[in-house]
Amino acid sequence: MTAMLSGRLALVTGSTSGIGLGIAKALGAAGARVAVHGLAAPEERTAAVEAAQAAGAPEARFFDGDLRDPAKIGALMDAVAAWGPVDILVNNAGMQKTVALADAEPGLWDAVIALNLSAAFHTMRAAMPGMKARGYGRVINVASVHGLVASKEKAPYVTSKFGLVGLSKVAALEYADAGDRESGGVTVNCICPGWVETPLIEPQIAARADAHGGDRAAGVAALLSEKQPSLRMAQPDDIGALAAFLCAKAAHNITGAAIPVDGGWTAQ
C-alpha cells in the first residue's frame, strides 16, 4: 500500500528533539521526505535525521538557519526548495521564558516574537504560493494552549502564540479555495499542546518528584494538577500523529482550526 504522504516534502522547523522530532518521525512514517531543521550540535543533527529515516522517511536531510533572522530564513527556504517544493510546512521552533511583564527586557520580547511568530510569517509567505499552484499544501503551526488562554509571567510567549493562531486563521481564509478534494487543497491549522513530555521540562518534573520522595509519577501529577485535568502529559509522538492526520487528503476541510491537545485544560 502506498504511504499516505509518498512523494511529499515536509519541512519541520525545530525538529532535532521534542515535539518537532515527533512530528518529523510521524511524517516520515507516512512516506514524506523530511527536511529536519534546528540549531543543534552535529551529533544531535545526525541523530534526528537518522530517527526520521528509521521511522520510514525515504530520505531526510538537515538544514540549519537561525529563524530570528529573516535573511537566514530566506536562505533556509531557498535551500529546501532546491531539494524540492515544500508540500508540508510545520512551524515548530520556539522559545519561552517565564518572567513578569515589568521585568521582561525588550530584547527578550523581540527574540520571542521573532522566533515564535515572525518566523512563521516568513516561512509561510515563501512556501504557500507554491502550495496553491500545486493544489496541495499543509501548514501546521505548533502554537500552544497559551495561544488560547493566558497565564501569568508569560507575556511575550502568550502574545506570540495568540498571534500565531491569528496569523494561521488569516492564511487559512486566503487559501481556503485553493485546490480541490482530489488534490487535497491547502490548509492551515494550529496544534495547541498543553504539557508535553520533552527533555525541556524534565527539571520541573524532577523538582516536583523530589518533593514527593522521588516518585516521578507523583511529581508529574503535581506539576499538572493546577492546569491539566487529565493529569497525563502528551508525548511528542501523540502530537506527531495528529500532524500526520492533518496532512491527509481526508483533512482537506479542516482549516483555520486551533486544536488543543491539553487534557481538558481549555475546557475548564
Is the predicted pLDDT of residue 222 greater than 70, yes or no? yes
**pLDDT tier at 232, thresholds 50, 70, 90:** very high
**pLDDT greater at residue 93 or residue 1:** 93
Question: Treating both helix axes as pointing N-terminal to C-terminal, what angle do 70-83 and 119-134 enclose, rounded to 10 degrees?
Answer: 30
Which residues belong to the active site? 157
Q: What is the pLDDT of residue 1?
A: 44
- The identity of residue 149, as a single letter, is V
Given a contact cutoff of 8 angstroms between Cβ atoms, the answer to whether 24 and 52 are in contact is yes
User: Domains of the chain: which residue ranges?
Assistant: 9-196+234-261, 199-233
What is the reported pLDDT for 199?
79
Task: Tell me the percentage of the chain whose pLDDT exceeds 70.
Answer: 99
Q: To which H or E segment does residue 20 belong?
A: helix 18-29
Task: Quickly state the pLDDT bin for 226 (edges 50, 70, 90).
Answer: confident
β-bridge mates for residue 44, sequence order: none
Question: pTM for the whole thing?
Answer: 0.96
From 127-131, 147-151, 177-181, 200-204, the region with the lowest mean pLDDT = 200-204
At 200 the pLDDT is 76
Answer yes or no: is pLDDT of 132 > 90: yes
Tell whether the model's pLDDT for residue 54 goes beyond 60.
yes
pLDDT bin (cut points 50, 70, 90) of residue 203 is confident
Q: Residue 163: CA atoms inside 13 Å, Cβ hemisphere, count?
A: 16
- The tens digit of pLDDT for each residue in 41-52 reads 999 999 999 999
CB 34 within 8 A of CB 57: yes
Q: Give 9-196+234-261's CATH code, choosing from 3.40.50.720, 3.40.50.1110, 3.30.70.100, 3.50.50.60.
A: 3.40.50.720
Q: State the pLDDT at residue 95.
A: 94
For the chain, give the mean pLDDT. 96
Minimum mean pLDDT among 106-110, 181-185, 203-207: which range? 203-207
Task: Please give the Cα distance from 231 to 184 (Å, whole number).
Answer: 36
Enter the C-alpha cell of residue 213. 520522595
Query: 182-201 pLDDT, tens per residue?
Result: 999 999 999 999 999 987 78
The rounded percent of the chain whose pLDDT value lies above 90 is: 93
pLDDT band at 2 (very low <50, low <70, confident <90, very high): low
- 55-72 average pLDDT score: 98
For position 198, what pLDDT does the model report? 87
Grid coordinates standing for 166? 491569528
Give the mean pLDDT of 60-79: 98
